[in-house]
Amino acid sequence: MRTFHPRRGRLSGRHVEALDQLWPRYGLSLPPHFPVGTRLDLTELFGRGAPVVLEIGSGMGDATVAMAAADPGRDYLAVEVHTPGIANLLALTERHGLTNLRIARGDALDLARHLLPPERLDAVHAFFPDPWPKPRHHQRRLIQPAHVALLRTRLVAGGTLHCATDWPEYAESMLDTLTADPELLNAFPGYAPRPAHRPVTKFERRGAAAGRPIFDLIFHRG
């Protein structure tokens, strides 16, 4: 069951050009089927053995590019399914001359489950995932026990799982789920102060404009 709802979007000429010209350089296509035992070599993907951040749902890419540019000592693997967002992120990556950013097209949970080696990620970011507000859709939420357990196993000891949302009910659910994981430790009592290193995203601006509070949750693998 997918945790995202594919969105349609028109590709501009600039986006088509970015996909054609830049995908071979920065892109990672996830296969439709995953052979048993296959693992993604992140050192080969980035050309060095730096710590890696998994960015789940990079949207149009502005926040991801800002974080990667400000954090050259780590590599960023962004995962997105929205084609215009992927194309825009490719263009931004090239424009800023970033060598520490790659973009994967597909389901981040499939990537984590089948391709990412255990204890390899320095951080996982899940900023403003779809809240699926209707109760009958809650099973589609990204932050739920089985998904959190999977993502946690891909973190190194001391690695960070950082989530953010503007839906209070989802924030409570996130806090309960992350707190219940036996190997995650909350970096703060309850919700975290908004960290300066997390850029303001489009979804955050939209939530703030609607008067919704913003919640950050920062947990570390013990």
Active site residues: 130
- Cα–Cα dist 128/143, whole Å: 11
Contact 124, 161 (CB under 8 A): yes
Tell me the two tokens of residue 78: 């962004």
Phi then psi dihedrals of residue 188, to 5 deg: -140, 155
> What are the residues facing 35 on neighbouring strands?
none
- Cα–Cα dist 51/159, whole Å: 10
DSSP H or E stretch at residue 113: none
